[in-house]
Amino acid sequence: MKLISAPLSMFGAKTEIAAIEKGLSVEVEFVPFSLASFYQPKHEEVLRINPKAQVPVLIDGDLEIFDSTQIFEYFEDVRPEPSLWPTDLGDRARSRLLELKSDEVFFPNVVRLFPQNQSAAERAEIETAKGALMSFYDEMNSLLDKTGTEYLAGPYSYADIAFYMAQFFASFIGFPVPKSNAHLLAWRDRAGSRPAVTQVVGKMRAYLNENGVSTDGF
Ligand SMILES: N[C@@H](CCC(=O)N[C@@H](CS)C(=O)NCC(=O)O)C(=O)O
C-alpha cells in the first residue's frame, strides 16, 4: 500500500498512526509542502485521485481512495485485529461520532485560528473560535471524568487518534489543552505515549524544529 501524505498533514498523520497500530506495511510518500507555500505545487496523483485535491490518499493495487476516515475503514476491513473501533456497539457508535466531531467540529476552529487563514471577517470571529476550542476541551474532559475510561470511547480507538492529532495542531498554533482539564491532560499523555503516536508525531516535531518552530511546549 502507498499512502500519500504531507509532513504536516494532521489527517495524513491519523492514517499513518492507524497503519502502525495495525502492523500494516504502508509506504508513505510526502507531497511537496513548505511552511511558505503550503500544498503547492499539487501532487499529480493527488489531483488525479481526489477531486478535493487533498491528502491523505491511499493506493492499494487498483484501489485508490481518499479521506482519512475512509482510509480508517479500509484498514479496519483489511486488518480487523487489533480492532480500532470498540466492540461494544454503544462505544463503537460513540467512537465514530467522536472521530467525526474531532475532524468536523473541533478542527475547523483550529483552522480558523491559523494566522495565515485570517481574513478581516475571520479575525472578527477569533474569539468565537477560541471559545469553541475551549468548550470542546471541557466537553472531552467531562466525558473522561464521567466515564472513568482511559480513552474517549472506552478502549483506545480511532476517536483517540483523531483527537490526539487535532489537539496537537491546536497546541502548535497556541491553544493547548488548558491545565484545568486534568482528565484530558492525562488522556493526552496516555495517547501520546503509544509507540505509533510517538513515532508519527516525532517526525512532525522534527519537521517543525528543522523549520525553526519550537515544539517544547507541546
Ligand atoms: N476530510 C479530509 C480532510 C483532508 C485535508 O484537509 N487535507 C489537507 C492536509 S491536512 C490538505 O490536503 N490540504 C490542502 C488543500 O486543501 O489544498 C480527510 O479526513 O482526509
pLDDT tens digits for range 70-129? 999 999 999 999 999 999 999 999 999 999 999 999 999 999 898 766 676 667 788 899
The alpha carbon of 6 and the centre of ligand 1 are apart by a number of angstroms equal to 10
Asked, for residue 208, whether it belongs to a domain, the answer is no
* Domain termination site, one of 78, 106, 121: 78
Task: With a cut of 70, say whether residue 47 has pLDDT above it.
Answer: yes
- My answer on whether 6 and 27 are in the same domain is yes
- My answer on whether 35 and 62 are in the same domain is yes
Measured from the Cα of 46, ligand 1's closest atom is 12
130 against 114, higher pLDDT: 130
The average pLDDT across 21-26 equals 98
- My answer on whether 109 and 186 are in the same domain is yes
The alpha carbon of 21 and the centre of ligand 1 are apart by a number of angstroms equal to 22
Measured from the Cα of 104, ligand 1's closest atom is 1
pLDDT tens digits for range 167-180? 999 999 999 999 99
The number of domains in the chain is: 2
* Continuous H helices in the chain: 10-22, 44-49, 68-78, 89-101, 107-113, 120-123, 126-147, 158-172, 182-192, 195-210
What is the reported pLDDT for 121?
64
Half-sphere exposure of 45 (CA within 13 A, CB side): 17
- CATH number at 122 reads 1.20.1050.10
d(CA 55, CA 13): 10
- My answer on whether 100 and 165 are in the same domain is yes
The chain-wide mean pLDDT, for the chain, equals 95
Share of the chain above pLDDT 70, in %: 97
Among the ranges given (24-28, 123-127, 142-146), the one the predictor scored with the smallest mean pLDDT: 123-127
What is the reported pLDDT for 216?
85
Task: Return the H-helix or E-strand segment holding 2.
Answer: strand 2-5
Report the amino acid identity of residue 125.
E
- My answer on whether 56 and 102 are in the same domain is no
The average pLDDT across 188-207 equals 97
Domain range for 138 is 89-195
The alpha carbon of 154 and the centre of ligand 1 are apart by a number of angstroms equal to 28
Q: Ligand 1 pocket, 165 CB below 6 A?
A: no
C-beta separation of 129 from 121 below 8 A: no
- My answer on whether 103 and 175 are in the same domain is yes
- My answer on whether 59 and 124 are in the same domain is no
- CATH number at 74 reads 3.40.30.10
Calculated CA dihedral for residues 11, 13, 17, 22, nearest 10 degrees = 60
d(CA 156, CA 151): 5
Q: What is the CA radius of gyration of the chain?
A: 17
- My answer on whether 96 and 73 are in the same domain is no
The alpha carbon of 42 and the centre of ligand 1 are apart by a number of angstroms equal to 12
The alpha carbon of 149 and the centre of ligand 1 are apart by a number of angstroms equal to 31
Residues 6+ apart with CB under 8 A from 150: 156, 187, 190
- Whole-model pTM over 0.75: yes
Identify the residue whose C-alpha is closest to ligand 1 atom 15: 54
